[in-house]
Chains A and B, each alone.
Chain A
């Protein structure tokens, strides 16, 4: 299925606007820039639901191939636009519907191919509307944020298992993953990491170690070109997930002052954004029709991102909050450089593509 140019542009604008508003909201939280509207308060909702929810829905809709499936990212994008316009209350029902739609799309894929990864992807998708429902029922964004991150983490896990089928994880390994995911969901249900954090921490570390062991990344890292670039970022991402788990135990968000900032960014920036950097050069041409491609200079923003999140966690741990803005600016520099370089590859085409 090809997206119509209008839809493509509309979705791209909504996603880009979400990203920009989400990032400025983040800066405003640190007091670096003056807040615009309620983007500072809504930083988490904009990034998790507005940006990533729309992106993942678009990915599934394109894979589904039916035109009606595009309603899901369209509703999510509408929610993102409303959120940016300051109508936060009106937004939640839209994200709820989009989340249910995404769960339906992945559920249909599970019906077609009942396997561990499609089932897990459906369970992951269900966390998006569930978190949104909690939000509508009055829970705060820092609480809901971990449920939304659960949606993103488990979605990535499911996608990675799909790709690791060539490795044929043993029955015991698959059983272990189901157990870890169940513990992770249980911990979220118990209100962790705000209300105790040990179980969530253990489950998260377990999932990360499982991925390190069962993912093809440790094999594809020995190849070259894009597959290697992607594998290195994946390994870094799994590393940050382990750091996040350690962080949840050592600096529990309910007790340590900056434990929440460190944990949520270790996951959102260290893990999720590394995953985005690792996949964008192949996902964007597929879902958005943008003819971008991998170029080795993308290692630069990728390394910058790792530095940024490392500094952020270090400053949080040292309670050196007056320096947090350095890490935030570095993160933004990494994203801007990455997007800029990637867009640049659309303009600059190599003269002899196959002469390498």
Chain B
């Protein structure tokens, strides 16, 4: 059940980044109760207006996955502060900068210069 819901949430993208909200680490809490699913999301920034849209998309995706008879509620924790560390390592490695050949050469030169 939990994995199905997470799979459904993983179909919801942060439209700006084109990355799903599970990989980004935006799903803060997932509670499965008697016929109800409660999800708490966080946003990447307090200045981004996309929150309610993403929450609505998430609710629709989970409702489709669990079927009728379940109440799905999605809320946003506005106090939570996101940081890139919360994102999945594979997402981070996709974005993180690989040092260019020039930078690598400079660091190698510097390392040689200081004898390390």
Q: Chain B interface secondary structure, helix, strand, loop or mixed?
A: loop
Q: Is the CB of A167 within 8 A of B46?
A: no
Whether A113 touches B78, Cβ cut-off 8 Å, given contacts A219-B95, A286-B53, is: no
Counting CB contacts under 8 A, is A190 at the interface? no
Q: Is the CB of A167 within 8 A of B97?
A: yes
Counting CB contacts under 8 A, is B110 at the interface? no
For B47, the chain A residues whose CB sits under 8 A away are: 60, 63, 106, 109, 117-118, 121, 159, 162
Tell me the minimal C-beta distance from B15 to chain A in angstroms.
4
Bound CA span A210–B47, Å? 22
Bound CA span A286–B47, Å? 13
Q: Is the CB of A287 within 8 A of B87?
A: no
Bound CA span A112–B49, Å? 16
Whether A287 touches B49, Cβ cut-off 8 Å, given contacts A219-B94, A226-B18, is: yes
Bound CA span A108–B46, Å? 9
Query: Which of B15, B45, B78, B92 makes the CB contact (< 8 A) with A166?
Result: B92
For B52, the chain A residues whose CB sits under 8 A away are: 1-2, 62, 286
Counting CB contacts under 8 A, is A285 at the interface? yes
Q: Is the CB of A216 within 8 A of B17?
A: yes
How many chain B residues touch A (Cβ–Cβ < 8 Å)? 25
For B84, the chain A residues whose CB sits under 8 A away are: 165-166, 168
Tell me the minimal C-beta distance from B53 to chain A in angstroms.
4
For B15, the chain A residues whose CB sits under 8 A away are: 226, 282
Q: Is the CB of B95 within 8 A of A225?
A: no
Which B residues from 1 to 51 make CB contacts under 8 A with A?
A: 15-18, 44-51
Whether A113 touches B46, Cβ cut-off 8 Å, given contacts A166-B95, A216-B95, is: yes
Counting CB contacts under 8 A, is A227 at the interface? yes
Counting CB contacts under 8 A, is B106 at the interface? no
Q: Is the CB of B49 within 8 A of A220?
A: no
Q: Is the CB of A62 within 8 A of B46?
A: no
Which A residues from 1 to 55 make CB contacts under 8 A with B?
A: 1-2
Whether A286 touches B50, Cβ cut-off 8 Å, given contacts A166-B95, A219-B94, A219-B95, is: yes
For A1, the chain B residues whose CB sits under 8 A away are: 52
Nearest A residue to B94, CB-CB: A219
Q: Is the CB of A285 within 8 A of B81?
A: no
Bound CA span A163–B52, Å? 18
Q: Is the CB of B16 within 8 A of A282?
A: yes
Nearest B residue to A213, CB-CB: B97
Counting CB contacts under 8 A, is A143 at the interface? no
Q: Is the CB of B18 within 8 A of A220?
A: yes
Q: Is the CB of B46 within 8 A of A63?
A: yes
Counting CB contacts under 8 A, is A175 at the interface? no
Bound CA span A64–B87, Å? 24
For B92, the chain A residues whose CB sits under 8 A away are: 166
Q: Is the CB of B44 within 8 A of A62?
A: no
Counting CB contacts under 8 A, is B104 at the interface? no
Tell me the minimal C-beta distance from B51 to chain A in angstroms.
7
Question: Which of A63, A112, A225, A226 has the most B CB atoms < 10 Å from its CB?
Answer: A63
Nearest B residue to A60, CB-CB: B47
Given contacts A113-B46, A167-B96, A282-B16, 16 further A-B contacts (CB under 8 A): A62-B52, A109-B46, A113-B45, A117-B47, A162-B48, A166-B96, A168-B84, A219-B94, A226-B15, A226-B18, A227-B18, A282-B50, A283-B49, A286-B51, A286-B53, A287-B49
Shortest Cβ-Cβ A-B pairs, 5 listed: A227-B18, A166-B95, A62-B49, A282-B15, A63-B49
Q: Which residues of A contact B (CB under 8 A)?
A: 1-2, 59-60, 62-65, 106, 109, 112-113, 117-118, 121, 159, 162-163, 165-168, 216, 219-220, 223, 225-227, 230, 279, 282-283, 285-287
Q: What are 30 A-B pairs with beta-carbon distances under 8 A?
A: A59-B49, A60-B49, A63-B45, A63-B46, A65-B51, A109-B46, A112-B46, A113-B45, A113-B46, A117-B45, A118-B45, A118-B46, A162-B48, A163-B17, A165-B84, A166-B17, A166-B84, A166-B91, A166-B92, A167-B96, A168-B97, A216-B95, A223-B18, A226-B18, A227-B17, A279-B16, A282-B50, A286-B51, A286-B52, A286-B53
